[in-house]
Amino acid sequence: MSNSTDDEWMMDSNVKKQYKSHLKNATTPEPDSLRRSQRKPITPAASAAAASAAAAAAAKALAEKKAKEKEKGKGKGKEDENQKGEEKEAPEPQPLAARMARLGPGQGLGCEAAVGTLTPSKSREYRLCSKHNEGKRPLYAIGFNFIDARYYDVFATVGGNRVTTYRGLPDGNLAILQSYIDEDNLQSFYTLSWASDLDGTPLLVAGGGNGVIRVINCATEKLFKSFVGHGDSINEIRTQPLKPSLFISASKDESVRLWNVHTGICILIFAGGGGHRNEVLSVDFHPSDIYRIASCGMDNTVKIWSMKEFWPYVEKSFTWTDLPSKFPTKYVQFPLMTAVVHANYVDCTRWLGDFVLSKSVDSEIVLWEPKTKDQGPGEGSIDVLQKYPVPETDIWFIKFSCDFHFNQLAIGNREGKIFVWEVQASPPVLIAKLVSQSCRSAIRQTAVSFDGSTILACCEDGSIYRWDEVDHPKGKN
């Protein structure tokens, strides 16, 4: 359902070969931000202890079995009288170590994952250019506009019931362009995403605590549409890069929904038998496979979904002329695969070509390859390629970002520090660690500019920090 109002508002294959070859608490937030941190992540100690106990029990059972066989004289050589000499008994399969037992089926295939070190290479240096205080309410999301080349220097933030757009000035300062105040004073926006209408009009999509998605027309400075459907708060919104009038939302109601921003239609709902069993915290579109998405959440899993079978309904949504509520919305109940890469909440996931980057409250980002099968939903395996340690990210809802070409990855932590990683290096290389004495609050999200020359951070204390690269090689990308 959608309602319009007139409210004014104030990787490629070479990279794959490269990886294959080398192969928690923040200070108590303000009352309106309590939900972001009120749930403590499940500590992995219980699962690790259970895994260790299981491994010990298996080893004990194996030893007892061998002892009985020895007493009874059961051996391969004695069973075959025609066999010359005594054959050596084939080694029994050993139980998985506790570390491996915690990982999903197919995990650990190939070589050992490459792990980055926390010693900065200093190959690129950054300086703090400006700080802007937007207010006292926490800022949960920040993002550059990569949809329209005319606005690569424009970004937006959300926090409380406010959505604000800025332009990054050449001198390192920030200029406020527009500010939208939602009619719901109790609203707390958690996420935003840039999109566009069919005619190229820049749109800003935002969602949060009340479960209503607002679409703002940045050209007319008016509210364009409101989308109602989710049964609880919205944790993330992402736009389809190949069709920027499509966007997807992840919610506390354990579902993911696909929307058409032009017609106001909810096309698909990813939930059901094979869906998430707790809050969905993050979602992302595959950069080149238009049918594929990834989602993750508080059930500690990352799910890979395909909408190829339902694509006719996506196309139908663009020509639908009846009421959006009458559209035959379809449920996608089973993902292509469910990956257990982490042992705790997974609060951010992004595609890197055909690989997946996922971050958990275990203070690390993992790069892995999903190997799905065509035989049936849920089948497949994973191969962990690289790990990027990020200290003090043990509270949930801390999200990373990358530049347009996925050369750099930036992520903040609960102490106000930013770690900048070279994503496509193997093993991973920490480019820089950005620290400011004035930044002591948890950084909920970062934004890296198109060419990687600017890194933005939005904080729980309502402030924005801008870091610029020193002597950035213009035109490098």
Mean pLDDT of 204-218: 96
Q: 238-242, 314-318, 360-364, 473-477: which has the minimum mean pLDDT?
A: 473-477
Q: Which residues contact 289 (CB under 8 A, 6 or more apart)?
A: none
26: pLDDT strictly greater than 90: no
* pLDDT reported for residue 474: 52
Please report which confidence band the pLDDT of residue 105 belongs to, taking 50, 70 and 90 as the band edges. very low
Whether the model pTM is above 0.85: no
**Tens digits of residue pLDDT in 451-468:** 999 999 999 999 999 999
* pLDDT reported for residue 112: 86
* pLDDT reported for residue 104: 46
Total Cβ atoms within 10 A of residue 470: 10
* pLDDT reported for residue 264: 95
359: pLDDT strictly greater than 90: yes
Q: In this structure, are residues 388 and 379 in contact, taking their beta carbons and an 8 Å threshold?
A: no
Q: 8-12, 98-102, 113-117: which has the minimum mean pLDDT?
A: 98-102
63: pLDDT strictly greater than 80: no
**Tens digits of residue pLDDT in 304-336:** 999 999 999 999 999 999 999 999 999 999 999
* pLDDT reported for residue 471: 80
Please report which confidence band the pLDDT of residue 64 belongs to, taking 50, 70 and 90 as the band edges. low
* pLDDT reported for residue 73: 42
CA distance readout (Å), 450 to 193, 196, 381, 477: 15, 18, 33, 9
Beta strands in 160-243 (DSSP E): 162-168, 174-181, 189-196, 202-208, 213-217, 222-227, 234-239
* pLDDT reported for residue 67: 53
